[in-house]
Structure 1
Amino acid sequence: MVDRANRPSALSAPGASDPEAQVDIVGSGSSSKVIATLPSGESVEVLLFGATVTSWKSNGGKTENLWLSEKAVLDGSKAVRGGVPVVFPVFGPPPKEGHATSALPQHGFARTSRWEFLGKSTSEGTADSNSIKLDFGLYTKGLSEEARKAWPLDFGLVYSVTLSKDSLQTVVNVRNEGETSFEFQFLLHTYLKIQDISKIAINGLGAVEYVDKVLDATTHKQSDSSITVTGEVDRVYKSIPQDTTSVVEDGKPRFDVVRDNLQDTVLWNPWIEKAKAMADFSPDDAYKQMVCVEVGAVQGWQKLEKGEVFEGGQTIKSLL
C-alpha cells in the first residue's frame, strides 16, 4: 500500500449530547439513493447507481448547489446528466487500441455501475455535529459482465462523500487488488448550479496550459487570470500549480473548488447547439444555469502496482 502526504482532512466525531445527522436510504434497486441531512438543514443525496451525487443543499437546506437536468435519467438505465458523476477508469473516449481501457465506453464504467453503500462514519477528533461522511464501494465483483470483460482487472474503489455546513468533500480511493499493474484516469464531473452564465467568472487558472477540445484538441496557454464563458467551452487545464479554482457570480464569490492530490481541471459548458442536441439535457437553455468545473487526473495515466493505492478528490465550498 502506498501512503501519501496531505490526505483529505479527517472529520470530527460528534459528542454524546450533540444532535446527529440523519441518514436515510430511499427507493429500491437502481433507483436507490442515500440522503444525509445535518441538524442545521444542509443535505446531500447520492444515487447508488454511479454513486452520483444528485443534490447538495447548503444554507440550512435553502440553496441547491448542483445542477441536475430536468430530464436526467435516475432509474439506472444510463449515466446521470448533472450532479457529480464519477469518471473511471478512462476520461473521454478511450484510446482506439492497444490500451487496457480501449474496449470501454466514453468515461468508463464507474458512473454506470451500481455501488454498495458502506455506511456512515465519523473520524477521530474533537466533537462536531455539523458533518457526516458517507462511504460507497465498487469492486471487480460488482461490475456488469460486459464491463468485466472489457476491463478484466482486479480493483477496489471507495468513494467518500462528506457533508459539512458550507462544503461538500468527495474523495476517491483506488486500490489495485490484482497481481498485475494497471493504468487509469479519474475525474469528478461536477455540474455547479449558477444563476446566469453571462455573469460568471472562473479564477485560478491563469498562466496554465490547456487542451481546447472545441479547437481540435490544440494546446493553448490561459492568458487572462479571469475566464468568462461566452460560447461552447471544453477545456482540460493541466498541471495546475494552485489548489483552488473559484467561481465568481456577478462580482461575488460563489464557489471555491479545492483539488486534493489532483493536477487537472476540466471546464465545460455545452452552450446552445450542443445543449439542444442532448436528449437528456433539459431545458434547452439550461446551459445558462450551469457550469462544469471538474477536477481530475486525466492528462496521461496513473499507474498502480499490485497492492498500491491512489487517493484524490475535491472540497467544494459554497460561499453564499
Structure 2
Amino acid sequence: MVDRAHKPSAISASSTGPQPQVDISADNSKVTAKLPTGDSVEVLLYGATVISWKSSGQENLWLSQKAVLDGSKAVRGGIPIVFPVFGPPPQNHATSSLPQHGFARSTRWEYLGKSTSESGALSRGGDDSVKLDFGLSQSQLSPESRKAWPYDFSLVYSVTLGKDGLQTMLNVRNEGRESFEFQMLLHSYFAVKVAYRGRWAAADGVEQNISRVSISGLAGTSYIDKVLDATEHSSSSPTLSITGETDRVYKSLKQDTTSILQDDKPHLDVVRDNLTDTVVWNPWKEKAKAMGDFAPDEGYKNMVCVEVGSVDGWQKLEGGDTFEGGQLVKSHI
C-alpha cells in the first residue's frame, strides 16, 4: 500500500469533545458517517457508491429518483466507481469481455473500517475528519467477471469526509505476477442548485438550472467530443456552458482544479489527485427521457457530471505495483 499525502492520521486516544459518528445500516447495505458539524456522507456497499454528501445542511450530489439501490444494477447518481475500463470495452483488449464501465460499480465491496483525525485541514491531513475504507479483490467478483478479467488485483477505496470537503481515493494493486492494464474514473454526479432561505432555489426566485452553470479549468488542452462522433477538438474557452447534450473527455489537463460555477460564482471545486483526465457529461432532454433509471425527466437541469479519471489510454501495472488516484471536492455552499 502506498502512503498518500492526504491520508489522515489516527486520532489520539486522549482526544476530547464531539467525535465523528459512523453507522452501518441494519441490513448491512450502507455506511453513514457524520461530523459534529452535521456534514455527512453515505456510501452504499454495492459498488462502494457514495450516494450522498451533505455540507452546511445541503446535498452536493445528484441522485436519480429512480436510482436502483438494491444491488441489481449500477446506481444512477452519486459517485459510481469505473474500473477497469471506461465506456464500452474496446475489441481485442483484455477488457473486451467486460460490461461498459467495468465491474467495480456493480459488485459488492467490503467495509474495511474507519479512522478519524483532528490534525488540520482535510487537504493537509484531516480536521475533525473521518475516513472510511472499502475493499474489493478478485475473490469477490462474480464467476463471469473473473472469467472476463482473470487478474489478481486488490482495490482500496478511501472516502474521507472533512469540514473542508470530501476526498475519494482509489488504490489499485496488482497482486499477481502478470501485468495488467486498466482505466479508472470517479463518475461524480453533482447537484447544481443553490440553497436560499433553507430551500433549493435561486436568490432571485427564478428556478435554478443548468443554464446558469458553467465549468472552468478545462482550457488549454484537447478533448474528445462523443456527441460529435468522438472527434477531437481544442479547448480554448476559459469556461464551458452546458447548452445541450454534453459528453466530453478532456485529456492531460495541466491545472489540477476544475470548478463548477453558478451565476459565475464558485459552487464546487474538483481537485484531481494523480489524475490528468476529466469527463464532463449531461444527457440533456432527449437522452434523459430515454434512460429508464433517470428521474425526474427534467433532472438534467439540476445536475452535471464532472468526472476525474485516467481514461486517455491505459495505466499498466506490473506484478506487485500500486497506483493511486482520486479527487478532493470542496463546496462553496
Give me the TM-score of the superposition, normalised by structure 1. 0.94
Distance across 2 between alignment mates of 1:248 and 1:265: 16
Distance across 2 between alignment mates of 1:55 and 1:300: 31
2:87 corresponds to 1:92: yes
Deviation at 1:123, TM superposition (A): 6.0
Deviation at 1:129, TM superposition (A): 5.7
Name the structure 2 match of 1:307. Answer: 320
Q: 1:239 aligns with which of 252, 257, 268?
A: 252
Name the structure 2 match of 1:20. Answer: 19
2:132 corresponds to 1:134: yes
Q: Give the paired residue count.
A: 312
Distance across 2 between alignment mates of 1:198 and 1:87: 28
Distance across 2 between alignment mates of 1:95 and 1:27: 41
Distance across 1 between alignment mates of 2:160 and 2:126: 13
Name the structure 1 match of 2:165. Answer: 167
- SS of the aligned residue for 1:214 comes to helix
Distance 1:275 1:8, change over 3 A: farther
Deviation at 1:13, TM superposition (A): 4.2
Distance across 2 between alignment mates of 1:194 and 1:286: 10
Name the structure 2 match of 1:148. Answer: 146
- SS of the aligned residue for 1:149 comes to helix
Q: Contact between 2:170 and 2:326, CA under 8 Å: does it hold in 1? A: yes
Distance across 2 between alignment mates of 1:312 and 1:160: 11
Distance across 2 between alignment mates of 1:58 and 1:261: 25
Distance across 2 between alignment mates of 1:128 and 1:94: 37
Q: Contact between 2:115 and 2:130, CA under 8 Å: does it hold in 1? A: yes
Distance 1:64 1:173, change over 3 A: same
- SS of the aligned residue for 2:99 comes to coil
2:300 corresponds to 1:287: yes
Deviation at 1:183, TM superposition (A): 0.1
2:31 corresponds to 1:37: no
Distance 1:128 1:182, change over 3 A: closer
Deviation at 1:27, TM superposition (A): 4.0
Deviation at 1:279, TM superposition (A): 0.2
Distance across 1 between alignment mates of 2:300 and 2:119: 42
- Cα root mean square deviation, aligned: 1.6
Q: 2:78 aligns with which of 62, 78, 83?
A: 83
Name the structure 1 match of 2:55. Answer: 58
**Which sits farther off after the overlay, 243-252 or 304-313?**
243-252
Q: Percent identity?
A: 66
The letter of the residue matching 2:216 is N
Distance across 1 between alignment mates of 2:10 and 2:144: 41
Deviation at 1:179, TM superposition (A): 1.3
Task: Tell me the alpha carbon deviations over residues 83-108 of structure 1, each in whole angstroms, 9 at most, x when there is no partner.
Answer: 00000000000012x21100000000
2:242 corresponds to 1:229: yes
Q: Contact between 2:168 and 2:328, CA under 8 Å: does it hold in 1? A: yes
Distance across 1 between alignment mates of 2:243 and 2:159: 32
Distance across 2 between alignment mates of 1:158 and 1:128: 19
- SS of the aligned residue for 1:272 comes to helix
Give me the TM-score of the superposition, normalised by structure 2. 0.91
The letter of the residue matching 1:210 is Y
Taking the TM superposition and a 5 Å limit, the aligned residue runs for 1:205-216 are 205-216=218-229
Instruction: Point out where structure 2 has 5 or more consecutive residues left out of the alignment.
Output: 194-208
The letter of the residue matching 2:162 is S
Distance across 1 between alignment mates of 2:126 and 2:225: 43
Deviation at 1:11, TM superposition (A): 2.1
Q: Contact between 2:119 and 2:128, CA under 8 Å: does it hold in 1? A: no
- SS of the aligned residue for 2:6 comes to coil
Instruction: Point out where structure 1 has 5 or more consecutive residues left out of the alignment.
Output: none
Query: Displaced runs of 4+ in structure 1, greater than 3 A?
Result: 12-15, 122-129
Distance 1:18 1:263, change over 3 A: same
Deviation at 1:222, TM superposition (A): 1.1
Distance across 1 between alignment mates of 2:126 and 2:90: 46
- SS of the aligned residue for 2:286 comes to helix
Q: Contact between 2:129 and 2:160, CA under 8 Å: does it hold in 1? A: yes
Distance across 1 between alignment mates of 2:186 and 2:303: 15
Distance across 2 between alignment mates of 1:267 and 1:282: 19
